[in-house]
Structure 1
Amino acid sequence: MLLTRKILFLIFLSLLVFDSFGQSELTEEIRVNLAGYPKEMPKTALVLSNSEGKKEVDLKTEDGKLVKRFSGIKMEESWEPFSTYYQIDFSEIQEVGNYYLAVPGTEIKSPEFQIGAFPAWQEDVVSFIRTQRCGFNPLTEEYCHQDDGLSFFGIWPDSTKVDARGGWHDAGDQLKYLITGSNTTARLLMTFQMQPESFIDEMNDMGIPMKNELPDILDEAKWGLDWILKLHPGPNELYHQVADDRDHRGFKLPHEDNADYGWGANSFRPVYFATGEPQGLSQYKSQATGISNLAGRSAATLALGYQVFISFPDYHEFAVQCLKAANELYLMGKKQEGYQQGNSYSAPYRYEENTWADDMEWAAAELFKISKEKEFLEDARRYASIIKEWSWMERDSASHYEMYPFVNMGHYALWQVGKEEDKKKMVEYFEHNLEQIQMRADQNPYGVGHLFIWCSNNLAAAVSTQAMLYEQMTGSKKYRSLMINHVNWLLGLNPWGTSMITGLPENADFPLDVHMPFWRILNVSVKGSLVDGPIWTSIHENMLGIELSEADEYAHLQPPHVKYMDDWMDYSTNEPTLDGSAELLMILTYLNHEK
């Protein structure tokens, strides 16, 4: 049924671009946020055209009643294959309902969208994350990777058995990373703190339908916390990665893993110890100067776990365990300041995080919230003064996962607990970042300023989140349009007219043919995952091993400099991501509660 829906939608699109002689000729298309618009937020659309002149567009109700005719504002910038872009601003319309936009006197119209409450999709995102569980997987209802794993580079002899079961697969493949798993867990916890009443209880701790008096988002957060605790089995121990790119042996279900790391298929996998030094079991070596990105972010996450779970009587002992580990990891981070990257084996691709002070700032601020010990606040200030406004937002390009996480949550945490001078500095840092994004957005017809590097959708979600946090910190709506423009981009207001979230909205175009084993093997499309997203053509053309499985359905819409493909063979633009999906949680939850 999903495939039929996708085909019908593409037939509809094709009718818009073929003239009476059957020849492909792009004339005009309308781009909107396919999810709709919160009633009191900015509401814009774009007309993509190959003709110039006055442009008018009608806003109509779902039954075709004219609400108002709007004049388009010609944009200074446009992207091929269209020569002219016109912005339609209908922010004044606040009546709740279903609408569409249409060009008068033509058959050109937009998909329907709503004005009103933003959909409650945060539960879909949590549900997607649940399907990525390692150990017991609720989607397959099978146990996997029960032999994780054998330690390397650690304080024990190589190949010593350790317990690294649990955690989440890295979406399209079955590696497990503390780099992303810690951030995913933290976002689950922070989102619950932001709107605790927003989340339902339908699943138990195993992810099986059965209420357990704990919101499902916290069941998922605890799954992540449990794994972090396993990777920290002693006061001076921290493991950071399970498996490596030897995993990449085609699509397979987790319990049928055919990867062989030297002990036979579907057997032991390496577990990498965080040493603070470069690592690699083959020709490709990671970079490292310390471990405080991993230790700091994990400490912050565990401190958040304490803050949340201490209020649940049945989880008091667990909360105390999280706090103890948080303090130990924080000390480890202080002793080995610097960063540890992800490891690869047979290809040069890895998570290239190279910042760490933001993670230690985050941990110190979260621990200060709990203990009120001045040393933590002083540490948070010191680490903030090291990282300052440094972010990918300050750059015109960046390496893969450089300066991760993509929002400096340390600054936000210090803003929460700091004095007035601290708060002022943290706001200035966030504002400096957002100004850099705004300058790029002003030169972009879609009003977005994130970078089109690998996992660009994570960056778009990060801009929206940081703008939302800035508004919370200041009360200013200065970057509200910037926030909404990046949400719009992810939800159809982009060159391809497609959502970047699998399965959502259900009645529109969304990623279907994704780089994901559940889709390729089981023909199951899992809702709620953010795919990697568009990348610069110069990057896309040099990615290894990309050859589309079928003709590009967006070929007639592709700008020459940016590419996106809904094709399972394109792992660079169409692979669902674990932490990218978690990046969505806060902004989706916030929008769902906007009146």
Structure 2
Amino acid sequence: MEEEKRKKLHHCGAQNIPRFTISWCLLLSIFAVPACARAFDYADALTKSLLYFESQRSGRLPYNQRVTWRDHSGLTDGLEQGVDLVGGYYDAGDHVKFGLPMAFTVTMLSWGVTEYRQQIAVAGELEHAMEAIKWGTDYFIKAHTSPNVLWAEVGDGDTDHYCWQRPEDMTTSRQAYKIDKDNPGSDLAGETAAAMAAASMVFKQTNPHYSHLLLHHAQQLFEFGDEYRGKYDASVEEVKSYYASVSGYMDELLWAALWLYKATDKEEYLRYVVDKADSFGGIGWAITEFSWEVKYAGLQVIASKLLAEKKHKEHAHVLEQYRSKAEYYICSCLDKNINGSNVERTPGGLLYVRQWNNMQYVSTAAFLLTVYSDFLQSSSQKLRCHGGMVGHEEILDFAKSQIDYILGSNPMNMSYLVGYGSNYPTRVHHRAASIVSYRESKGFIGCTQGYDYWYSRLKPNPNVLVGALVGGPDLQDDFVDRRSNYMQTEACTYNTAPLVGVLAKLLQLQDQNLDQNPTSPLLASY
């Protein structure tokens, strides 16, 4: 057991029945349409995906906390350093607050709301989505203590992984680590700037003062990251075994500049994205993944969308090159890059990037595919792949297939979104979920006691981590629901974050189809 803990790196690297199912299933039998299980309740999945972020909260929980098996935790974070770092999110099944994946989580939640605000609102989940974003941005405001100082991490991954404790019982180190001008971290500063710029757009109408505050921090962080360049894992070496910055910081600086342009409409930020497109790899890197670590594909998709606006004509040449790389990514997901690399797929049709926590790449791909499909539809264009032209419907259909796989349309008939459907992982690799709730039993549970009694239990977790998207199946669609199988059963905030926007979009299409064809046997399609 101790050897296993020592070796562990943190990289996290029958369906729910929709409201119309009875009549729908009857019609399926009449029309001989197979698989009633192909209909999914996207509204329920959306609600649950947002609930997950409440399970991951660190700090003093609010009065309206819906996940009642959690309680206050990390209330002295930053105390040793003389700074208030209470709040934010635990990224996965442990209790370290890692700045880079937390910021990417908030960027993706914010992007989902900026793209699909109306759809999320119609589903009745806009307030919850905004609360999830604000829980992160409130923490970033605290962590950005001066223009050139950003607290990067609270807690120590190594000591944390020797402990199996509830966050409410934490006895592990809460050492905090920062970046500054002498110890730079352009990737972390850039991603946090992107998160705050994107979030400022979310709050612009409803809370203009807060929006302005976020924008102020975003601009300072971008300037800090750009002026004092360096990788954050060179300054905060403790993060190297968990969230190393392999791709460097250039993608994050471009990403931050583009989000700042979207938030402010200031030409200087667009000029940065255009002028550094080549030297920073924005139009050079053709990538087949989008993640907390590699932002190029997302950057390229947003840059592509600028082409539809006439005011960007003077930058069309460079933006077209961004679009070419965005299309390489989209085509690779669709298996249509004849002369290039495509993303591998399991026999069941799931995109497969790597063994550890593969679902993070599936949810980000589904999001980018959905956004790009909308872009093509609104601009009456098609996708250009080596394998031919592709319409927006085909792109969205594939994105939907990935979401449906997650929700249960797969060889295991397993929902990988915890709490959704009747068959989902019950032994998620998650300390708080796997130990009796602090609300139920306040008796202290120590590090080794947690490992000896709770970690090794064969029984399901006492608390359901609703809305968590686990790491998912292997290349052969096989999945082992075992707490120690962290490659497959650990969930991360950045897995679930991209689902919010896509689920809202799919719910809208489902509802539109229901309105237009109330007796259609194909209510699961659009």
TM-score of the two chains, using structure 1 as the length reference? 0.65
Residue number in structure 1 paired with 2:298? 409
- 1:386-465 alignment runs, 5 A limit: 386-388=281-283, 390=285, 393=288, 403-405=293-295, 408-417=297-306, 419-420=312-313, 421=316, 423-439=319-335, 440=342, 444-465=346-367
Are the equivalent residues in 2 in contact too, given 1:253–1:517 (CA < 8 A)?
Answer: yes
1:482 corresponding residue in structure 2: 398
Q: How much does 1:573 deviate?
A: 0.8
Number of equivalent positions: 434
Report matched runs for 1:198-277 at 5 Å: 198-199=119-120, 215-245=127-157, 246-259=159-172, 261=173, 269-274=174-179
The range that moved more, 421-430 or 571-580, is 421-430
| Contact 1:134–1:165 (CA under 8 A) maintained in structure 2 | yes
Which ranges of structure 1 fall in alignment gaps of 5 or more residues?
Answer: 1-32, 40-59, 70-92, 94-99, 102-111, 151-158, 204-210, 262-268, 279-289, 396-400, 537-558
Shift of the 358–589 alpha-carbon distance from structure 1 to 2, 3 Å rule, reads farther
CA deviation after TM superposition for structure 1 residue 344, in Å = 7.0
The answer to which structure, 1 or 2, has the higher relative contact order (CA under 8 A, 6+ apart) is 2
Secondary structure (helix, strand or coil) at the match of 1:119 reads: helix
- 1:179 to 2:100 alignment: yes
- Judge conservation of contact 2:45–2:503 (CA < 8 Å) in 1: yes
Write the distance in 2 (CA, Å) between the matches of 1:141 and 1:565: 26
Alpha-carbon distance change, 120 to 341 in structure 1, aligned in 2, over 3 angstroms:
farther
Give 1:135 shift.
Answer: 0.5
Given the alignment of the two structures, is residue 517 of structure 1 paired with residue 439 of structure 2, yes or no?
Answer: no
Task: Verify the 8 A CA contact 1:199 1:216 in the aligned structure 2.
Answer: no
Residue in 2 that maps onto 1:493 = 409
Larger radius of gyration: 1
Q: Using the alignment, how far apart are the partners of 2:258 and 2:239 within structure 1?
A: 39
Offset, 1:413: 3.3
Residue by residue over 1:398-443, the C-alpha shift from the partner in whole angstroms, topping out at 9 and shown as x without a partner, is xxx68435x7332333344452525533332221012223334687
Residue 300 of structure 2 contacts residue 322 of structure 2 at CA under 8 Å; is this kept in 1?
yes
Question: CA–CA distance in 2 between the matches of 1:361 and 1:323?
Answer: 17
Kindly state the Cα deviation for residue 215 of structure 1 after the two structures are TM-superposed: 1.1
Give the structure 1 partner of residue 76 of structure 2. 147
Letter in 2 for 1:574: T
| Distance apart, 1:484 and its partner CA | 2.8
1:147 is displaced (CA, Å) by 1.5
Distance 1:364 1:456, change over 3 A: same
User: In structure 2, what is the equivalent of residue 473 of structure 1?
Assistant: 375
Q: CA deviation at 1:174?
A: 0.7
Shift of 1:392: 5.0
Q: Distance in 2 between matches of 1:217 and 1:585?
A: 8
CA offset at residue 63 of structure 1?
A: 5.2
- AA in 1 matched with 2:72: Y
Q: Tell me the residue number matched to 2:196.
A: 302
Q: Distance in 2 between matches of 1:276 and 1:570?
A: 40
SS state of the match for residue 487, structure 2? coil
1:258 shift after superposition: 2.5
Q: How much does 1:349 deviate?
A: 4.2
Which runs of 5 or more structure 2 residues have no equivalent in the other structure? 1-13, 336-341, 378-390, 437-461, 513-526
Counterpart residue type for residue 321 of structure 1? L
Matches within 5 A, 1:64-213: 66-67=29-30, 101=35, 112-113=36-37, 115=39, 118-137=42-61, 138=65, 139-140=68-69, 142-149=71-78, 160-199=81-120
Question: Which of 328, 333, 336 does residue 225 from structure 2 map onto?
Answer: 333
How far apart in 2 are the matches of 1:354 and 1:65? 49
Q: Distance in 2 between matches of 1:495 and 1:217?
A: 32
* 1: CA distance, partners of 2:404 / 2:104: 24
The answer for the alignment partner of 2:481 in structure 1 is 566
Query: What is the letter of the counterpart of residue 301 of structure 1?
Result: A
Compared with structure 1, are the counterparts of its residues 465 and 234 closer, same or farther at alpha carbon in structure 2 (3 Å cutoff)? same
Matched, 1:378 2:271: yes
Q: Deviations over 1:508-553 (max 9, x none)?
A: 31111111233321311021110112346xxxxxxxxxxxxxxxxx
Following TM superposition, the consecutive aligned residue runs of length 4 or more in structure 1 with deviations greater than 6 angstroms are 200-203
RMSD (CA atoms): 3.5
1:243 deviation in Å?
0.9
**Equivalent AA in structure 2 for residue 533 of structure 1:** G
Q: Does residue 356 of the first structure (1) align with residue 261 of the second (2)?
A: no
**Aligned counterpart, 1:531:** 470
Once residues 232 and 368 of structure 2 are traced to their aligned partners in structure 1, the CA distance between those partners, rounded to angstroms, is: 25
CA distance in structure 2 between the aligned counterparts of 1:183 and 1:132, rounded to whole angstroms: 15
Question: Compared with structure 1, are the counterparts of its residues 251 and 200 closer, same or farther at alpha carbon in structure 2 (3 Å cutoff)?
Answer: farther
CA contact (8 A) 2:100 2:292 kept: no
More helix by share: 2
Measure how far apart 1:307 and its partner are.
1.9
Listed one character per residue, the Cα deviations across residues 368-389 of structure 1 (whole Å, up to 9, x for unaligned) are 2343332211101234432336
Contact kept, 8 Å, 1:185 with 1:301, in 2: the verdict is yes
Q: Please state how far the C-alpha of 1:116 moved relative to its aligned partner.
A: 7.5
CA distance, structure 1, for counterparts of residue 202 and residue 368 of structure 2: 22
- In the other structure, the counterpart of 2:385 is none
Change (3 A) 1:465 1:66: same
How far does residue 578 in structure 1 lie from its aligned partner after superposition?
A: 1.2
Aligned to 1:16: none
Amino acid at match of 2:294: Y
Of 577, 584, 590, the residue aligned with 2:492 is: 577
- Contact 1:363/1:410 (<8 A) preserved: no
Q: Which one-letter code corresponds to 2:213 in the other structure? A: Q
SS of residue matched to 2:78 = strand
What TM-score comes out, normalization by structure 2 length? 0.73
* Identity across the alignment (%): 20
- Decide whether the 8 Å contact of 2:303 with 2:323 is kept in 1: no
Q: SS of 1:113's equivalent?
A: helix
Separation of aligned partners in 1, 2:345 and 2:242: 31
Q: Is the 8 A contact 1:295 1:333 kept in 2?
A: yes
| Alpha-carbon offset, residue 490 of structure 1 | 1.8
Give the number of the structure whose residues are more often strand, by fraction: 1
Contact 1:360 1:410 in 2 (8 A): no
